[in-house]
Every structure is written in structure tokens, then in C-alpha cells.
Amino acid sequence: MCAASLSSFAQINAEQPAPSSTADNGHKIIYFGDGTAESGSSEEMISKFYFDQFRHAHDPLAPYFMFMSRDSKLALGIGGKFNATAYYDWNGTVDDNGFIPFEIPMSRDNTQRHRIGASVSESQLFLRLFGKSDRFGWYQLYIQAKFTGSGMNGYGFKLSKAYASVGDWTLGYASTTFADPAACPNTVDPQGPNAEVSETTFLLRYMHTFKGNHWSIAASVEAPDAQVPTYPGIATACNSYMPDFAAFGQYQWADGLYHVRLSGIIRGLEYRDDITAANHHVIGWGAHLSTVANPLPSTVLYGGINAGKGIASLNNDLQCDSRGLDMLPSVWNPGAMHTAKSIAWYAALQYNFRPDLYSTVMFSEVRLFPGDIKDDGMYKYGLYGAANIFWNPTSRLLLGAEYNFGARKDVSGDRRWVNRVGLTCQYSF
């Protein structure tokens, strides 16, 4: 076995801290095959494992174990992350490992004033293969899974991502082009800000970077997964037959570590008016502005705002409704439904005390506009806040502590708050 190390890929000096540090991450590499690598080609191949436009802070780091051809044209990384999290809720509870304001119970229950929980379900495994072809250029295959298949309180094995990329094209199960995972801060809470756009779907995406690596554009056709509710005798959800269409334009700097991105999506939503016995097709749309930036020395700013109609199922908080909130019934026109309007935003500021020690504070809000619905139990808005600190005793071990507060308010005016403290121990390999 041969050992190789990659020092400070994707890291910026102390005056310009990176969103996540990869300093001193060594790699154990087994070489196979014949041939001789060109100068610098091994480092270029390893660097491919660090840069991903759609990598979330909760995803594993680049793999410690790699297989690489001697000519450095093919490399396979096998890795994952062990993630143990414990938490304590008070002043009410959220019955989930994730801290989700939407799930805050609105009726006071003295038997559920406190709750302690722990889980390793966010532990993950992945395989990533990179290759370089004389005909097609760079290509990759990626498969990632974790143990949340039985819900966030269970341990079923569940596929998270599985896609193939050749050049500028990606095909498979991946983060929607409407999302911007890199613009989301790290949290102990596995759910993260309630305003985050969070959706994985089957897609075909084209993404191209140009102008000296300062501009990126992308467009995709995505499998529909709208959440249209059914109201028996009034309106019924129909199967989707129109794909989602998403795109973004992005300006980036510091070798792609920081960026500003504007994304958009168009969706087709179908329902049947049970009163008139007629099907109706409605268009939903959304816009998303997001950024990760370095405004001051030793700081990183994360932020995003998204708004639209018929995009509730793409949002961290609103997608938790079991019936679906992409469309809502009309009170004044029985049998008709309309796309639900929503707006959500979050902002987070990270301060790096040292390359291995940082803290983040954040606030997030989601608002749903249900129109003329008179249901007092209908969600109106949710608030999410967090303050945390993370420490890397080693380059692959991460320890963290976090305080969360959340609130839910319904159309009736009722509002409930919940508090949580959480601890995490994570090891990427």
C-alpha cells in the first residue's frame, strides 16, 4: 500500500476561511495497473474528490481510502461518516431526530414537556469513481446512502444519491438544480434551517463553468414529485405527467468556494375537481437566491431566500405535511384548488476562531399563505434558530454542540415554542 497526502485542498488562509476545512487530510492509496502518471495528475485527480457544487455540510468528507491507476486516469474512493447525535427537548418536544418547527405540537400535553433522544441514523456510506477519458473528458459515478430508511427515528438503509456525470452532463438521483446545498451552514441538527430548499430527485442536468471559472450555468429536466392533497368529495390529486424544469446562474470566486446563485423552477400540478368531474392542470413556479461568501476576515456568510407558488414540497419545513401543501382547496369555489404561495429565508454567520474551531449563529423563517382557507389548524409560519460550535480535534473527527429554538404559529393565532440542545460526534473516513 502506498500513502499519499493532500494538504489544504479547498482551504483558504486564516484571513479567508473556507466553508469547511480539509487541511492535513491524508489519503491511503492503492495503485493498480500500468503506465506512468504525468506531473501533477495525481494531485489533480485527488482534488476532484473535494469540489462539488452540490455538496452539503452534512455530507461526508473526501474518502480516506482510494484506489488509483498508475497513470492517474481512474480513481475509486470508498468512504463514509459515523454520526452519533444526542439531544434534549424542553418546553415541549419535537418527535423527531430533526428539529422541525412544522412538527411542533400545538396542543399542550403535560406528558410531553421534555424528551431526550439519540441516534446514529445519519451515518453514511458512499462510493465515488472519477475517470478521465481521451474522448469524453472527466466522468464520475457516485452512490451515497444513510440509515434513515425507516424514518428519522429508524435505521433502515436508504439511498441518498446515485448519479453518473460525463463532462457537463449528470444523469441520476441527485439534488435538484433548484437547491443550493453548498450555501447551507453546518448544524448538529440533521434537518437544518427550516427555510432550506431540500429535494433529491431523478434528473438530467447540464452544467457548464466558463469565464475563467467565475460563471456557472445549469439547466435540468427532473422527475416530478409534487405533493397535491386529496379532499374526498371535493378534489383529488392526479398523477403528474409534466416534468419539473429547473435552472440556475451563478457567479463564483476564490476557486469556486464562494458564490451567489439565482435559481428557478417550473412545475406541473394536476388535480381533479370531483364536483364538476373535470381535470385541471396548474403551473407552479419558484425563485431562489442563495449565497456563501467571505465578507470579513475569519467569517463566512450563508444565506438564501426562496418564494413561489406550488413549491412547498421542496422546502424543509413544509414538505413535512403528510397530505401535501403544494395546492390548497378554494373556499369560495368548491372543487377548485390553487397553488399555495410560500416564502422562506435563512441567514447564518460563521466565525472561525482557528482553522479547527468555528461557531455559527443562524435564523430561518418559513411562511405559508393559505388564502381564504378558514382551517384554524393550518400552518401559518415557522421560526428556526440555532447557535453552535464545532471543533476538529483531528482532520477527520468533528465534535459539536448546539442550541436550537423553534416556533410554529397557525392560522388561528395559536403559537408554540420548543427548545433543544444537541451534541454530535462525527468521524469521516
pTM of structure: 0.89
Q: What is the pLDDT of residues 362-414, one digit of tens each?
A: 999 999 998 777 777 889 999 999 999 999 999 999 999 999 999 999 998 99
CA distance 412 to 187: 31
CA atoms within 13 A on the CB side of 426: 30
Residue 152's pLDDT is: 59
Name every residue whose Cβ is closer than 8 Å to that of residue 193 and which is 6 or more positions away in sequence.
Answer: 184, 185, 187, 316, 346, 348, 362, 364, 384, 386
Residue 9's pLDDT is: 33
Residue whose C-alpha is closest to residue 26's, from 13, 42, 45, 7? 7
What's the CATH number where 404 sits? 2.40.160.10
> Which of 164-193 are b and which e, b meaning 16 or more Cβ less than 10 Å from the residue's Cβ?
ebeeeebebbbbbbbbbbbbbbbbbbbbbb
Q: What is the pLDDT of residues 302-327, one digit of tens each?
A: 999 999 999 999 999 999 888 899 99
Residue 28's pLDDT is: 84
**pLDDT tens, the chain, 429 aa long:** 343 333 333 333 333 334 333 333 477 888 888 877 776 677 778 888 887 888 999 999 889 889 988 888 899 999 999 999 999 999 989 988 999 999 999 888 888 889 999 999 999 999 999 998 888 889 999 999 999 876 656 788 899 999 999 999 999 999 999 999 999 999 999 999 999 999 999 999 999 999 888 999 999 999 999 999 999 999 999 998 999 999 999 999 998 899 999 999 999 999 999 999 999 999 999 999 999 999 999 999 999 999 999 999 999 999 988 889 999 998 888 899 999 999 999 999 999 999 999 999 999 999 999 877 777 788 999 999 999 999 999 999 999 999 999 999 999 899 999 999 999 999 999
CA distance 396 to 390: 12
Residue 85's pLDDT is: 96
Identify the domain containing residue 237 by its residue range: 2-428
Residue 151's pLDDT is: 63
Determine how β-strand 235-237 pairs with β-strand 258-273: antiparallel
Residue 331 and residue 372 in contact, taking contact as beta carbons nearer than 8 Å: yes
Please state the domain count of the chain.
1
